């Protein structure tokens, strides 16, 4: 059975593992990133903002209840389905589900919100293009960082234990930080054999470029930054 490494953190990791079992694969969990809540001051909410934009469900999950209560009455523009669902669950009444990726969302909102101000619920580690495109279109962006993304520190022994001492056939990569982390693990002498023949599936081109692999055949990229599309790439590998 093909062993598929799930590098995303909880709560998504267990959901992905269940999906992989249904597809006939053996999931192996090794979160290469984790999210941690940041302290947020309620005074950061600007009075002139007419909407909230969100490109990660984690930004909503880690937001303090006071912040969410202050924002819930505003329209919320979510990057895609999963983030929109998190926004509704958090109390937003007016949620607009976006096209699925941050750059396309920025393009969609650029003309609609030009000359206005928005609140951007986000993480400390984020791709700058989204904010840059909105600002270039005359949108005032007020970021509120609710969480940070960090890489867990694994010893060689801990990685071997997570992998049951068996090589990884395929690794799913959900972020550039995870791609860099798995590459660092693969370069450790004690772990090299576990990743020597691993193939990688990346959620986006940006994530794939963070992985320095000489053999381009070892990397495939999802046509859209959506997990269902990513998992489709596994078909035919059993």
What kind and span of H or E run contains 71?
helix 65-71
Quick one: CA dihedral 95, 98, 101, 106, positive or negative? negative
- 141: β partners: 118
Task: Show me where the domains of the chain are located.
Answer: 3-33+154-232, 36-149
3-33+154-232: CATH topology = Rossmann fold (3.40.50)
| CATH of segment(s) 36-149 | 3.40.50.10090
Provide the whole-model pTM: 0.82
**Which of 96, 142, 95, 134 is closest to 115 using CA atoms?**
134
Same fold, 3-33+154-232 and 36-149: yes
The Cα 76–Cα 95 span in angstroms is 5
**Which of 38, 82, 88 is closest to 63 using CA atoms?**
38
Q: What is the largest CA-CA distance in the chain?
A: 56
CA dist list (Å): 30 to 13, 33, 52 = 9, 9, 33
Give the pLDDT of residue 24: 93
Regions of the chain short of the pLDDT cut 70: 43-44, 214-216, 236-238
């Amino acid at each position: 059975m093909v062993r598929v490494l799930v590098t995303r953190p909880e709560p998504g990791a267990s959901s992905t593992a269940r999906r992989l079992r249904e597809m006939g694969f053996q999931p192996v969990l090794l979160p290469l990133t984790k999210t941690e809540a940041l302290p947020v001051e309620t005074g950061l909410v600007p009075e002139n903002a007419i909407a909230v934009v969100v490109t990660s469900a984690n930004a909503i999950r880690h937001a303090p209840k006071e912040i969410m209560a202050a924002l819930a009455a505003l329209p919320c523009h979510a990057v895609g389905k999963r983030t929109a669902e998190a926004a509704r669950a958090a109390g937003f009444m007016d949620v607009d589900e976006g096209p699925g990726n941050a750059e396309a969302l920025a393009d969609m909102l650029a003309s609609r919100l030009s000359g206005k101000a928005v609140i951007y619920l986000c993480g400390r580690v984020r791709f700058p293009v989204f904010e840059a495109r909105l600002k270039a279109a005359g949108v005032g962006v007020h970021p509120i960082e609710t969480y940070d993304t960090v890489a867990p520190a694994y010893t060689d022994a801990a990685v071997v234990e997570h992998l049951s001492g068996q090589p990884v056939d395929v690794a799913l990569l959900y972020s550039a930080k995870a791609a860099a982390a798995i590459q660092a693990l693969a370069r450790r002498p004690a772990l090299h054999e576990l990743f020597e023949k691993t193939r990688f599936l990346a959620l986006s081109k940006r994530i794939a470029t963070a992985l320095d692999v000489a053999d381009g055949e070892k990397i495939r990229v999802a046509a859209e930054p959506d997990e269902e599309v990513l998992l489709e790439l596994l078909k035919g590998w059993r």
